[in-house]
């Protein structure tokens, strides 16, 4: 953690949580914010991480959506074989697509136009209801569209707004009292700052400074939230303790029957063809892959494990066979160079292969890079976490 945050400066701050069904430990390093933008430019303005710090879960929200779908299936309100267009008539183009196909990424979904490029929440929602199923199979199957669509479907089936459904079916049973969408006004000062993200796209130097604390980083979720919608793919904010409670509630059976949990991480999409290995995906999550670089799961977790990363720097992995989990809540966006396209330009900017280091910005500032942080997690976080789980007695030494 110290190497990632204090030495390489890939993240402004990081909290790591790991445990089993009955116990967990956590550690944190770094800060929730390190600079603010004034008329004279960026100035130091550090905010410490605390136990009350709220993290934008980003794509980890999809795990809550998957659990919501499977809960409705267990309750008999929904069947995996139900057709989306029959369950919710607002999706007429999906009358031939089942809930299971969407849940497991077997259905590739598209909107006519980009949701995040719409002028307002109403037009963005129109794009959601115009989702169609693509007939071609792309090389990369993972998408926000599946979770976004299912968040709408569970509202229709349950008769509740999605945020209220989550409160009743997940947050309250798990004891998650500090998980929000939207963030209450009195908790905005607890939010991690993801503003001032730096990107170099096709030679253009960009600084994204239009995101106040408590707003979803994902532009689709941020736009749709203006219309009062919690999206199924992103938008939840939570603390480290609450994410541990979520993992423990899954392992203890408070949220799902064990059979359902064991099925979440079963691969439905991945195989090896002439293009190489395709993504191994389960129920709105990644499944164990034979190619570790393509996996969102630590190598030491088993075949029923589930994993997911969020763009903001977060990660969740849970192994129901060994009964353990690890969660990383990081910030790779605030005052960091997070994206470089095309990727070959990273070397031209002076970054080594691992993506760590600084990029000299046109105004002369040296901006730390979080580029390729995702590939650091195995050696620098997952493997040490396994050692800690074994040493603490939370997991057997297998």
* Residues in contact with 145: Cβ distance below 8 Å, sequence separation at least 6, in sequence order: 109, 110, 111, 131, 233
Q: Read off the tokens for 276.
A: 């190489």
Please compute the mean of the pLDDT values over residues 275-283 and round it to a whole number: 91
- 313-372 pLDDT, tens digit per residue, is 999 999 999 999 999 999 999 999 999 999 999 999 999 999 999 999 999 999 999 999
* Residue 114 placed within a domain: yes
CATH code, 175: 3.40.710.10
Of 133-137, 299-303, 331-335, the poorest mean pLDDT is in 133-137
Q: Please report the pLDDT score of residue 62 as a whole number.
A: 98
The 3-state secondary structure of 115-142, one letter per residue? HHHCCCHHHHHHHHHCCEECCCCCCCCC
Q: How many helices (H) and strands (E) does the chain have?
A: 14, 17
Is the pLDDT confidence value at 164 over 90? yes
DSSP 8-state symbol, 293: G
- 181-191 pLDDT, tens digit per residue, is 999 999 999 99
* Residue 240 placed within a domain: yes
Q: Please report the pLDDT score of residue 139 as a whole number.
A: 82
- 183-228 pLDDT, tens digit per residue, is 999 999 999 999 999 999 999 999 999 888 899 999 999 999 998 8
Q: Please report the pLDDT score of residue 211 as a whole number.
A: 86
SS3 content of the chain, % helix, strand, coil (to 5): 35, 20, 45
Q: Read off the tokens for 281.
A: 């995906």
Burial class (CB in 10 A: 0-12, 13-18, 19+), 185: exposed
- 143-162 pLDDT, tens digit per residue, is 999 999 999 999 999 999 99
* Residue 238 placed within a domain: yes
Q: Please report the pLDDT score of residue 398 as a whole number.
A: 56
Residue 310 near residue 7, CB atoms below 8 Å? no
Q: How many domains, the chain? A: 1
* Residues in contact with 89: Cβ distance below 8 Å, sequence separation at least 6, in sequence order: none
Residue 12 near residue 5, CB atoms below 8 Å? yes
Q: Please report the pLDDT score of residue 68 as a whole number.
A: 98
* Residue 314 placed within a domain: yes
Q: What is the mean pLDDT of the chain?
A: 95
* Residue 397 placed within a domain: no
* Residue 83 placed within a domain: yes
pLDDT category, 137, cuts 50, 70, 90? confident
Q: Read off the tokens for 246.
A: 């979520």
Q: Please report the pLDDT score of residue 210 as a whole number.
A: 87
Residue 236 near residue 181, CB atoms below 8 Å? yes
Q: Which domain holds residue 66?
A: 2-269+278-391
- 236-275 pLDDT, tens digit per residue, is 999 999 999 999 999 999 999 999 999 999 999 998 877 7
Q: Please report the pLDDT score of residue 229 as a whole number.
A: 85
CB atoms within 10 A of CB 337: 27
Q: Please report the pLDDT score of residue 10 as a whole number.
A: 96
Q: Please report the pLDDT score of residue 244 as a whole number.
A: 98
Q: Please report the pLDDT score of residue 238 as a whole number.
A: 98
Please provide the distance, in angstroms rounded to a whole number, between the alpha carbons at the two ends of the chain.
25
Q: Which of 59, 63, 55 is CA-nearest to residue 16? A: 55
Residue 381 near residue 1, CB atoms below 8 Å? yes
Please compute the mean of the pLDDT values over residues 288-310 and round it to a whole number: 93
* Residue 398 placed within a domain: no
Give the residue carrying structure tokens 């900017």: 349
Q: Please report the pLDDT score of residue 285 as a whole number.
A: 98
Backbone dihedral region for residue 76 (phi beyond 0: left; psi -120 to 50: alpha; all else: beta)? left
Q: Please report the pLDDT score of residue 118 as a whole number.
A: 97
């Amino acid at each position: 953690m110290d190497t990632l945050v204090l030495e390489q400066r890939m993240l402004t701050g990081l909290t790591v949580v790991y445990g089993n069904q009955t116990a967990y430990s956590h550690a944190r390093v770094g800060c929730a914010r390190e600079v603010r933008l004034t008329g004279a430019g960026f100035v130091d303005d550090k905010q410490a991480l605390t136990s009350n710090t709220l993290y934008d879960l980003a794509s980890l929200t999809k795990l809550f959506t998957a659990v919501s779908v499977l809960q409705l299936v267990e309750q008999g309100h929904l069947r995996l074989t139900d057709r989306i267009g029959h369950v919710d008539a607002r999706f007429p183009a999906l009358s031939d697509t089942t809930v299971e196909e969407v849940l497991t990424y077997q259905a590739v979904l598209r909107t006519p136009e980009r949701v995040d490029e719409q002028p307002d929440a109403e037009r963005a929602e129109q794009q959601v209801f115009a989702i169609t199923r693509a007939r071609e199979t792309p090389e990369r199957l993972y998408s926000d569209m599946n979770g976004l669509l299912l968040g709408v479907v569970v509202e229709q089936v349950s008769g509740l707004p999605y945020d209220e459904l989550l409160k009743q079916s997940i947050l309250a049973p798990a004891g998650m009292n500090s998980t929000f969408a939207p963030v209450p006004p009195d908790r905005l000062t607890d939010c991690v700052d993801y503003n001032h993200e730096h990107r170099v796209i096709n030679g253009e130097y960009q600084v994204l400074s239009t995101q106040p604390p408590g707003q979803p980083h994902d532009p689709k979720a941020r736009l749709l939230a203006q219309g009062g919608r919690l999206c199924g793919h992103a938008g939840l904010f939570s603390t480290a303790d609450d994410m541990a409670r979520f993992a423990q509630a899954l392992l203890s059976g408070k949220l799902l029957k064990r059979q359902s949990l064991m099925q979440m991480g079963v691969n439905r999409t991945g195989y090896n063809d002439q293009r190489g290995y395709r993504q191994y995906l389960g129920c709105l999550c990644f499944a164990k892959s034979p190619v570790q670089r393509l996996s969102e799961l630590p190598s030491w977790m088993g075949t029923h494990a589930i994993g997911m990363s969020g763009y903001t720097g977060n990660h969740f992995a849970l192994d129901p066979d060994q009964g353990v989990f690890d969660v990383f809540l990081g910030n790779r966006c605030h005052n960091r160079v997070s994206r470089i396209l095309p990727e070959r330009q990273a070397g031209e900017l002076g970054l080594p292969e691992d993506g760590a280091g600084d990029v000299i910005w046109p105004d002369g500032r040296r901006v730390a890079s979080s580029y390729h942080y995702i590939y650091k997690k195995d050696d620098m976080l997952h493997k040490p976490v396994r050692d800690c789980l074994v040493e603490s007695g939370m997991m057997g030494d297998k």
